[in-house]
Amino acid sequence: MAIFFLGLFGLIVGFLMVLKPSKFVEAIGEPGWSEKIFGAGRAATAYQAIGIIVIIVSVMAMTGLIQGILLSVLAPLFGGLASPKP
């Protein structure tokens, strides 16, 4: 149940990042890497892209899809995460 509310919080924050990126630029500042990727003065676009990623990850967490993906990606790195074979 806690994952659902955490995902809901992430969904709201991501939605606000997409709707009002200028508020995030004023509050947090311009990310230095955004000029290389999006061009000069495009910090709002960077926050919108981050907001979309936050929305996708939040929906995946709320529906339980992210656990399977994380386990499949991290299982080769950590042997204890792999499901036991019969």
**Structure confidence at residue 43 (pLDDT):** 86
pLDDT given at position 59: 94
pLDDT computed for residue 8 by the predictor = 93
**pTM (whole model) above 0.85:** no
Q: What is the full per-residue pLDDT of the chain (86 aa) written as tens digits?
A: 888 899 999 999 999 999 999 998 899 888 888 878 878 878 888 899 999 999 999 999 999 898 888 888 887 777 765 566 56
Domain boundary assignment for the chain:
2-67
In angstroms, rounded to a whole number, what is the distance separating the alpha carbons of residues 51 and 61?
15
Distance, in Å, from the CA atom of 5 to the CA atom of 22, rounded to the nearest integer, reads 26
Burial (CB < 10 A; 0-12, 13-18, 19+), residue 66, is: middle
Token pair of 8 as six digits = 């809901």
Neighbours of 29 (CB within 10 A): 9
Q: d(Cα 8, Cα 4) in Å, to the nearest integer? A: 6
